[in-house]
Structure 1
Amino acid sequence: MKKTGYCARYLICTWLLLLFHSGYAQDTSALIFYTAGGKILTMTGNQPTYVESVVVQHGKITYAGSKAHALRYKKAHANMRPVQPGEVLMPAFIDAHGHVVQDATTADLTDLSPAPYGTVNDIPAIQQAIQDTIRKSPTDTAIIIGIGYDDSRLKELRHPTKTELDVISAAHPVYVAHVSGHMGVANSKLLHLLGFDIPGATVPGGVIVKDGDGKPLGLVMENAHIAVLLFIQKHSAAPDPAKVMQSLLRSEKKWFSYGITTLCEGRADPNAINLVRTANQQGLLSGDFIVVPDYDLNRYQLPALKPYYNKYDGHFKIGAIKFTFDGSPQGRSAWLSQPYLNPPLGELPGYAGHPIYHHDSAYQFVKSVFQLGMQVHIHCNGDSAIHEGLHLIDTLKDFVQKDMINVLIHSQVCRPDQVPLFKKYNVMPSWFPTHCYIWGAWHRDSILGPARAAHISPLKQGLDNQVLFTIHTDAPVTPPDLLTAVYSAVNRRTYKDNQVLGPDQVISAYEALKAITINSAIQWGEANTKGTIEVNKRADLVLLKGNPLTDDQRYIKIIATFKDGQKVYGK
């Protein structure tokens, strides 16, 4: 018996060895990464684990282990890629929540980003940037749009007003959109075209900020902001489809340049969905695009989208359905249980934000998505919105299918008592720790006060409560720079004054890297194919200059990004 068992094992091993050898001998697409002073980080397990080599064939990882074993089967036609000293090869990053189509469709608008990502740092600079755009405008009545201004980082520490936009041009409707994507400022011309200057004008679920006499000041928020965007879309010249497609592919390359091979459009309107589907049908996409349709803008098309839910058609799939329950804390439109430290323009002391939906409407809308057998991503920034999202999903648990992974996006102002509820209700948070870096001082000094600000994106409490979470960039709110998000999770230092915001919430670099690799794969239901370097997983890989476990992640360079074994960025 022992002899027979030994022979059987010998024959099986010989067969596998021949198969392994034959694959390399015949497959001209073989790619072998091997350590030559650098490291290969697999992201498997609870501690950093390394291998000496990775073999890729037909877009998949066929071997991960010793260098001697892999090189033994090296053939002249195999593409050998050494991992040099100071380099780290690891799984490519996965976009848990971003807006790649929004990035594409706004790429040609006037960029109003302040430091550290731009140079528009005060209101005169906004005016100058808009004036420069008007000089290039083909008509004297075209709607002029700027994007990405941030009152928290402007010298004046406030929003511009309609009057400050009026002095730029009386003929052109002008709109400047806030970096949060939840608000913006219109000039008098645009306010009039929208009817927002009519006494008593309102927008359900939105705010038209007014002075004491009931006249609009220019700032509009939430659904009023959406109304502006829809008006602009309706009254602007139809975009050139070829140029829009070029912009999408340009944004895809931008995501690749940050090491991301699975891309997300986290709040898609019908045009965005059709754009990605068309690009996919034409075979133009290299990355995997996960699209999350906005419920309000797609509610009647959801049954038609169901066949694409959680299942790729080429490089396209529907990942979830998006709801937005409140606004942004940095813009002071998140829905809180306690007042803002300083109320926003047009509000009185005691203001704590507001919900987008009435509770009964939210209940019916989310229930209808669950009844279709689809999961939800709910934008919840303030603790009141987080409460609504968590308890709504728990109330509807009988309609939640076993394999659904429901996510609360951002979950910024999360109270300590709320963190354990994510585990209890089987809900996954996707936190946004870059807030600590970019807006940390603003939250601490102007928005939330020190105690609440110190607990935004409570990653360590999440770990302590065994809450599985991802982290994201919300690009283009910030660039799709997940390594800076990792830096923020590990350090929680503010950009403005380099102070640590909530030292008890810092986590290790390895846990932060898990949040953008294997945890994100789990969020999207793709843990069997992505997120770690393991045999039979897709060869989505990124080669870094620098060690993300020990170096300042902000300064690590992306050398090359590989999607299904093919290089899509770098050298």
Structure 2
Amino acid sequence: MIDKILITTLAIVLLLGCENKSKQMETATANLYFNGHIITMDTEDPTYADVIVEQDGKIAFVGTLEEAEKQFSNLNKIDLNGKTLLPGFIDPHSHFGMVSNTMGQVDLNPEPVGTVENIDDILIKLKNYKEENNIPDGEWIYGWGYDDGELAEKRHPTKKDIDKVLPNNPVYLQHTSGHMGVANSLGLEELKVNSETKNPKGGNIDRFPNTQDPTGLVQETAMYPFVRLMLEKLASKQEEFFETTQEYYASNGITTAQDGMTDRNTIRFFQSQADEGKFKIDLISLAGYAELESNLKDTTLLFKTYKNGFKIQGTKLVADGSPQGKTAFFTKPFLTEVPGCNHDCRGLPSLTQETINTLFVMAYEKDNQLFIHCNGDATVDMIITAHENACKVLNQPLDKDRRTIIIHAQFSRPDQLETFKKYNMEPSFFTNHAYFWGDVHVENLGKERADFLSPMASSIKLGLKPTNHSDATVTPIDPIFTIWTAVNRVSRSGATIGEAEKVSPFHAIKAITANAAYEFFEEDIKGTLSTGKLADFVILDKNPLTVEAMEIKNIKIMETIKEGKSIFARENDNEIVNKN
């Protein structure tokens, strides 16, 4: 008798539960998007859905209008009016903190990002910045984005140039590559760089011909003290520019951003902003390798775990430099003159093989995901060697699902791509280089190497899941432009840089949605329009899969939606609304 009562009671509870759930589905408001191009990105070929339903910040339904109306009685219908809805863009690699810091610096970018054409333009901008901002003598002034290859003089500015307009302020100008910069005389003096200073390992202090007198140009590890001081100086402005930086990312359709190398203090700052509820988008941080050992021992640092929209995913290593700056490390030499080098100029690694080996062992032992900056093929060889060594030392499988990410991987050879596939490593490419520096790469490296820049098509054929990034501040945050460069691979001069490596618009989008989610172990919650995933959307005015290839870059972001909430909207062609 007791058993019968228990069974009856349980049946009633279950029945009531089902009724309550059914009533909740009927009464809870759900947003249904229809009458547009809804591209799900969850298949190997383009697939469209008639409608998509968002409820409580997640995707509740993807399918036909008829089926949606059967399941949901309380639908708020949103007419897309022919626009295109995609998963929110996931940033595979940029520098959120550096983007924020540029808001307190002088913009020295050439066209199409800025207006600088020659060294005189740089000097005028520096002088005007001091005057317009009432900066007193003795205070540091920073600039960013100059590109010696795009200056009329085809050279870096020197300390003598800068001293002409700012003799009483220490100055440091960051090169567009982020791998070198120029200081004036006071700047060099403050960092104790002079004719007696020796080049650090993995770096170069450029000198005037036939002397030991520094020109002001510091490359790779030689620039680290200048960048470290700059970050300290600008740290006080982090909070001031944080909101604006988020809005900038959101306005470009990005719902998950990355800070590509974050020191401990900035990690704490980001987490404090997250804990105060200030995040509109998700932010993924990569901790710096210099603090790897202490980071792995610190139980307060939660890797791979979101807390209020912020997480530390893994660790960033910098293994070489910049190809356009001629500091990337190659097996074959550059074809043009390299500053500070007279023979067999193949660039230079930033770390020794021994150091990289040690870092890999430390990370793999603790299952800490590694993201390694490397551009030249010689550096890729070093990374593969370090991977093999760590697996041997730790007795781990070579193909364990660690998702070690090779950031840029720009001049990886075909055999190296095959090794990535064999070892479960993934490349994050940088096809924007084809536009910004494709012509320079042909000159410096030759057409064969330049044409295999960021080989997305070859990687996809091998079954890899490549992503594609902006590396902002190196190039602007603009996922639409990134899609355009992957599809067209057109340089500034209009030349095609690697016809065979062009990809379809669908695969270019996949690199910043489904593949990007996979890069961060987030494929279960992001990257495709699939039931149960977060309702992170971007709405475009046109469909990238159907417009003429060269017109892709003109597509506009109309709205960005994070977990069902609109965080950016363009009301019309001229008016933009940033939403709280």
TM-score (norm: length of structure 2)? 0.90
For 1:477, the aligned partner's letter is: V
Greater Cα offset, 519-528 or 67-76:
67-76
For 2:346, the aligned partner's letter is: A
> 1:320 aligns to what SS in structure 2?
strand
CA offset digits 1:20-64 (Å, max 9, x no partner): 863443224x211112xx211000111110111111111000111
1:75 shift after superposition:
5.3
1:196 touches 1:202 (CA, 8 Å); kept in 2?
no
1:303 touches 1:372 (CA, 8 Å); kept in 2?
no
CA distance in structure 2 between the partners assigned to 1:25 and 1:397 by the alignment: 53
2:411 touches 2:449 (CA, 8 Å); kept in 1?
yes
1:321 shift after superposition:
0.4
Indicate the residue corresponding to 1:26 in structure 2: 27
Indicate the residue corresponding to 1:132 in structure 2: 128
Give runs of aligned pairs for residues 68-107 of structure 1, distance below 5 A. 68-72=66-70, 78-85=75-82, 87-107=83-103
Indicate the residue corresponding to 2:560 in structure 1: 561
Indicate the residue corresponding to 1:342 in structure 2: 336
In 2 relative to 1, CA 192–353 (structure 1 residues): closer, same or farther, beyond 3 Å? same
Give runs of aligned pairs for residues 109-508 of structure 1, distance below 5 A. 109-135=105-131, 136-211=133-208, 212-233=210-231, 236=233, 239-240=235-236, 243-297=237-291, 299-304=293-298, 307-398=301-392, 399=394, 402-445=400-443, 447-495=444-492, 497-508=493-504
In 2 relative to 1, CA 63–444 (structure 1 residues): closer, same or farther, beyond 3 Å? same
In 2 relative to 1, CA 462–439 (structure 1 residues): closer, same or farther, beyond 3 Å? same
For 1:555, the aligned partner's letter is: N
1:426 shift after superposition:
1.4
> 2:239 aligns to what SS in structure 1?
helix
CA distance in structure 2 between the partners assigned to 1:126 and 1:200 by the alignment: 27
CA distance in structure 2 between the partners assigned to 1:248 and 1:72 by the alignment: 44
2:295 touches 2:301 (CA, 8 Å); kept in 1?
no
CA distance in structure 2 between the partners assigned to 1:19 and 1:44 by the alignment: 32
CA distance in structure 2 between the partners assigned to 1:365 and 1:371 by the alignment: 10
CA distance in structure 1 between the partners assigned to 2:18 and 2:62 by the alignment: 15
1:138 shift after superposition:
3.1
- Counterpart pick for 2:44 among 41, 46, 51: 46
1:105 touches 1:248 (CA, 8 Å); kept in 2?
no
CA distance in structure 2 between the partners assigned to 1:139 and 1:307 by the alignment: 40
CA offset digits 1:273-294 (Å, max 9, x no partner): 1121111111111211110011
Indicate the residue corresponding to 2:576 in structure 1: none
1:390 touches 1:427 (CA, 8 Å); kept in 2?
no
Give runs of aligned pairs for residues 540-559 of structure 1, distance below 5 A. 540-551=536-547, 552-559=551-558
1:269 touches 1:298 (CA, 8 Å); kept in 2?
no
For 2:50, the aligned partner's letter is: E
CA distance in structure 2 between the partners assigned to 1:16 and 1:486 by the alignment: 47
CA distance in structure 1 between the partners assigned to 2:336 and 2:128 by the alignment: 34
Indicate the residue corresponding to 2:11 in structure 1: none
In 2 relative to 1, CA 127–326 (structure 1 residues): closer, same or farther, beyond 3 Å? same
1:106 shift after superposition:
2.4
CA offset digits 1:463-512 (Å, max 9, x no partner): 222122111110121111111111111111112x1111110111111111
For 1:550, the aligned partner's letter is: T
CA distance in structure 2 between the partners assigned to 1:191 and 1:247 by the alignment: 28
CA offset digits 1:337-396 (Å, max 9, x no partner): 111111222322421111111111211122112222211001011111111112211222
> 1:418 aligns to what SS in structure 2?
helix
For 1:454, the aligned partner's letter is: D
Aligned pair count reads: 547
In 2 relative to 1, CA 18–62 (structure 1 residues): closer, same or farther, beyond 3 Å? farther
CA distance in structure 2 between the partners assigned to 1:83 and 1:133 by the alignment: 44
In 2 relative to 1, CA 285–97 (structure 1 residues): closer, same or farther, beyond 3 Å? same
> 1:175 aligns to what SS in structure 2?
strand
> 2:194 aligns to what SS in structure 1?
coil
CA distance in structure 2 between the partners assigned to 1:303 and 1:281 by the alignment: 23
CA distance in structure 2 between the partners assigned to 1:548 and 1:15 by the alignment: 47
1:336 touches 1:352 (CA, 8 Å); kept in 2?
yes
1:227 shift after superposition:
1.1
In 2 relative to 1, CA 232–387 (structure 1 residues): closer, same or farther, beyond 3 Å? same
1:142 touches 1:173 (CA, 8 Å); kept in 2?
yes
Give runs of aligned pairs for residues 515-526 of structure 1, distance below 5 A. 515-526=511-522
In 2 relative to 1, CA 297–112 (structure 1 residues): closer, same or farther, beyond 3 Å? farther
CA distance in structure 1 between the partners assigned to 2:150 and 2:407 by the alignment: 24
CA distance in structure 1 between the partners assigned to 2:293 and 2:152 by the alignment: 41
Indicate the residue corresponding to 1:536 in structure 2: 532
Indicate the residue corresponding to 1:11 in structure 2: none
Question: Any stretches of 5+ residues in structure 1 without a counterpart?
Answer: 1-13
CA distance in structure 2 between the partners assigned to 1:431 and 1:324 by the alignment: 15
> 1:386 aligns to what SS in structure 2?
helix
> 2:465 aligns to what SS in structure 1?
coil
2:356 touches 2:383 (CA, 8 Å); kept in 1?
no
In 2 relative to 1, CA 345–202 (structure 1 residues): closer, same or farther, beyond 3 Å? closer
Indicate the residue corresponding to 1:9 in structure 2: none
Indicate the residue corresponding to 1:56 in structure 2: 54
CA distance in structure 2 between the partners assigned to 1:106 and 1:348 by the alignment: 35
1:209 shift after superposition:
1.1
CA distance in structure 1 between the partners assigned to 2:535 and 2:299 by the alignment: 28
Question: Any stretches of 5+ residues in structure 2 without a counterpart?
Answer: 1-14, 571-580
Indicate the residue corresponding to 2:6 in structure 1: none
1:16 shift after superposition:
12
In 2 relative to 1, CA 305–264 (structure 1 residues): closer, same or farther, beyond 3 Å? farther
For 2:498, the aligned partner's letter is: G
In 2 relative to 1, CA 466–26 (structure 1 residues): closer, same or farther, beyond 3 Å? same
In 2 relative to 1, CA 558–250 (structure 1 residues): closer, same or farther, beyond 3 Å? same
For 2:531, the aligned partner's letter is: V
CA distance in structure 1 between the partners assigned to 2:347 and 2:108 by the alignment: 26
CA distance in structure 2 between the partners assigned to 1:344 and 1:365 by the alignment: 30
CA distance in structure 2 between the partners assigned to 1:490 and 1:246 by the alignment: 37
For 1:53, the aligned partner's letter is: V
Indicate the residue corresponding to 2:510 in structure 1: 514
1:298 shift after superposition:
5.2
2:204 touches 2:340 (CA, 8 Å); kept in 1?
no
CA distance in structure 2 between the partners assigned to 1:411 and 1:257 by the alignment: 28
1:311 shift after superposition:
1.4
CA distance in structure 2 between the partners assigned to 1:267 and 1:541 by the alignment: 26
1:18 shift after superposition:
7.0
In 2 relative to 1, CA 330–23 (structure 1 residues): closer, same or farther, beyond 3 Å? farther
Greater Cα offset, 101-110 or 88-97:
101-110
